[in-house]
Amino acid sequence: MVSADYLLAFTVSCILLAATVGLLRRRKAASRLPFHPGPKSRFLVGNLFDIPTETPWITYMEWGKQYGDVVYAQMLGKHIIILNSVKAATELLEKRATIYSDRPTMPIVSLTGWDFNFTFMSHTDEWREVDAVAAYRPIQLRKIQDLLRGLLSTPEDFVAHTKTLGAAIILDIIYGYDVKSLHDRIVYLAEAVARLCDCILPGASAVNTFPFLRYFPSWFLGCGFHKFARKIFELVDEMKNAPFDFCQTKLGAHHLFIRRYADPEQRNGSGKPSVLRELLEQNDAHGGSEEQAQITKDVTGVAYAAGADTTSATLIVFILAMGLNPEVAKKAQDELDTVVGLGCLPGFEHRSALPYCEAVFREVFRWRPLLPLGVPHEASENDVYEGYFIPKGTTVIPNIWAMGHDECKYPNPDEFNPERFLNADGQLNTDDHILAFGFGRRVCVGRHAANATVWATMVSVLSTFDIAKTSDATGEEVEIEPVYIDGLLSYPKPFKCSITPRNDVTRKLIESMTDV
């Protein structure tokens, strides 16, 4: 049996070898052109100990103020650049998309079973096969009405209601699966996304920094990621297969899923129309290719995972913003009452006539972006930008937070202020780029569906409910103290607020909604 001392010596040797090779590569590259400015690198390890593991977007933004819009760092020879401005992100990720559409290789992704997710794939033919999922507006509006009824009956469960909404819309569109309960198992499976986000950013997982660690046992120093990865792998596998099997069952196949998960009233019938049903029937019509069926399963699984969690998290940010800024909610409600009318729910046809509500929508995404650092890109070729060298294989991080908190463009950026998106006449300005959806060829393929769901939910909630701070037993107002999840995906931790019908008219409106 190999001794622990031998393994430790081997590990140290591997680290030194990787660092030395990286250093030689860096020197070779530096002989051509300099890298972008950045924090001073240490011998062998580079900036390994400078890369923050908590709220890195804040540190990177401060680096940007010191070194410029594009900041260079390196970890054990691995090149990293951080883009702190829209200009730099547009120039590289959009105008040079052929070079910057790859993703960095991250061992933790395959260990957790997420390697089917085209979000983390290189820019291959398989990735280009993916098409955006069309938004089904009637389903969106019906599920939003479910949310309103839920908020009326148990407003204290607003987090669960928003999570259910985000999942329910996509499950219905993609799989024809109708969520009926706050405790639906498939809704819970979207948690696999949030768990993965804890270990994607540079420095967050040892195996991404030292890929050889994936071959070491879980009990070895620094290899605790194996246990974490196994748990996520099981969630991901269930999340991808359970709704897929449900849809196949509705088409006549027989799967164990029905006995485990399906609601009794969903076990019979030929199945509702859905994206997956259409894709499966198309595949059958062309001979029933197993490879195409697997791609279909992967794509629909990604659509569910990516949309469910991000949609609900954005709505929780919205509720937090309204609780902290009641004057903003009041202005939006006044606009809705004028354009739509009290006692009526707004529809998509009203959107263009609601500029202040649209400004609230934009400000939610700017104020607290769910992906403060986006999803990392990778340079597939050597490149030069503004006289600085960017080597092939460089990890490129768009700092969405810094872009949305640029004090020159957005004065007092920590303030929630929808007026920054309005002209003097109260109409919308041209600042309509939702940075959170990404850049270039890796822009979020579900952005149109997400855009529609989030907007329609915001205006529906504002039309019918008041969101405010709670009061304690003595009647004193309790302040909301925002605390956020820290990771690739950042959103508010649970908080308390008061959600009540605006008046008897809106209460009766919600009560009169039928469950269809």
Q: 509: helix, coil or strand?
A: helix
E strands present in 112-229: none
Instruction: Say how far apart CA 96 and CA 378 lie, in whole Å.
Output: 12
Cβ distance 428 to 359 under 8 Å? yes
CB atoms within 10 A of CB 49: 9
Residue 444, marked binder: yes
Q: 48: helix, coil or strand?
A: coil
Instruction: Say how far apart CA 505 and CA 509 lie, in whole Å.
Output: 6
Region label for 187, one of left (φ > 0), alpha (ψ between -120 and 50) or beta (otherwise): alpha
Torsion of CA 139, 141, 146, 149, to 10 degrees: -170
**Percent helix, strand and coil across the chain, each rounded to 5?**
55, 10, 40
Instruction: Say how far apart CA 88 and CA 101 lie, in whole Å.
Output: 15
Q: 229-232 long-range CB contacts below 8 Å, 24 or more apart?
A: 229/108, 229/111, 229/112, 231/195, 232/112, 232/113, 232/114, 232/192, 232/195, 232/196
DSSP state of 34: P
Torsion of CA 109, 112, 114, 116, to 10 degrees: 100
Cβ distance 118 to 432 under 8 Å? no
Instruction: Report the residue count for the chain.
Output: 516
Q: Which DSSP helix (H) or strand (E) runs through 47?
A: none
- Cβ neighbors of 228 (< 8 A, separation 6 or more) are 112, 195, 199
Which pair of structure tokens corresponds to residue 282? Answer: 């198309």
Region label for 375, one of left (φ > 0), alpha (ψ between -120 and 50) or beta (otherwise): beta
DSSP per position, 281-309: HHHHHTT--HHHHHHHHHHHHHHHHHHHH
Per residue, what are the HEC states of 358-382? HHHHHHHHHHCCCCCCCCCEECCCC
Q: Residue 425 burial (CB < 10 Å; 0-12/13-18/19+)? A: exposed
Binding-site residues for heme = 444
Binding-site residue positions: 444
